[in-house]
Chains A and B, each alone.
Chain A
Amino acid sequence: GQSLEQPSEVTAVEGAIVQINCTYQTSGFYGLSWYQQHDGGAPTFLSYNALDGLEETGRFSSFLSRSDSYGYLLLQELQMKDSASYFCAVRVQGGKLIFGQGTELSVKP
């Protein structure tokens, strides 16, 4: 089967750093993506890792370890607007994305 595990919710304060972990078990693996979704909004692409290592894009970074079937999204200098749901998604054959259940991040003042 296909399964992705990520925490259901995380709380942090403004200016802090938070890490959202994702472990996966899928048949076939091409890469790990992260999407952000605000309440009532559409998912928006944040990052994609096909190879092991850290990818940095501004305040957000994403890490992948293929041997551990594990990745994480790191958000630095948290802002109130970062309060949203964050989804990891594995890309499998055929371009299909298998999504995790999402992590609801609450940023407090």
Chain B
Amino acid sequence: DTAVSQTPKYLVTQMGNDKSIKCEQNLGHDTMYWYKQDSKKFLKIMFSYNNKELIINETVPNRFSPKSPDKAHLNLHINSLELGDSAVYFCASSSRLAGDQETQYFGPGTRLLVL
């Protein structure tokens, strides 16, 4: 009954590699987000999609490319990984249609370690 799920939960990889993180929500929400949380716990929005359309695109290196195949899925692909990409990446979702976009539901996070 997981509301927002992410895979993988842990990801350890070498610098220069390309990796993807997947997110799925079964809440029927129309808006999904990617956040990055650094080692100091600072949580920063990266991207947001509403009905598969990109609506928020923060100042993020273009090595990061989100993709939303449908409303329930939002994936994040990262090219040429760097040490500074090590962080926890959270997916979240909310509903604009229900008028409750203030409540964002977060996935369990993907802990990425770049060596």
Residues of A within 8 A of B (CB): 31, 33, 37, 41-45, 48, 50, 85, 87, 91, 94-99, 101-102
Contacts and interface: CB of A to CB of B under 8 A. Distances in A.
Contacts of A98: 45
Interface in B26-57: 31, 40-45, 48, 50, 55-56
Contacts, number: 49
Given A42-B109, A45-B104, A45-B105, A95 B96 contact: yes
* Majority DSSP secondary structure for residues of A touching B: strand
B106 A42 contact: yes
Contacts of B109: 42
Given A85-B41, A94-B55, 15 more contacts: A31-B102, A42-B106, A43-B104, A44-B106, A48-B103, A95-B50, A95-B55, A95-B56, A95-B96, A95-B101, A96-B56, A97-B45, A99-B42, A99-B43, A102-B42
B55 A43 contact: no
Interface string B44-79: 110010100001100000000000000000000000
